[in-house]
Amino acid sequence: MVKLCILVIALAIIARARVALLPGWVVPLPVLILAAEVTACAAFVAWLICQARRPVPSPAPVPAGGAA
């Protein structure tokens, strides 16, 4: 029960926190956290797409004479 109360208090503090990114531009902290998560997910999906489109290396062809 104590851990749950600590978690609720921490989430309340995070929800009320505001961060000044530039002079005159104050953003709520949860918005920054969400933006970072969306950016990380987009980068990961882009990396997966690049990996999926990469051609699979094939083994070298066997010489015509049969001897390696």
What does the CA dihedral 28, 32, 33, 35 come to, rounded to 10 degrees?
140
Q: Tokens 């990380």: give the residue.
A: 40
pTM beyond 0.85: no
Whole-number pLDDT of residue 64 = 77
Kind plus residue range of the DSSP H or E element containing 16 = helix 2-16
DSSP summary character for residue 67? -
Q: Tokens 């990469």: give the residue.
A: 54
CA–CA separation, 46 and 34 (whole Å)? 18
| 14-61 tens-digit pLDDT | 888 888 888 888 888 888 889 999 999 999 999 999 988 877 778 878
Strand, coil or helix: 20 = strand
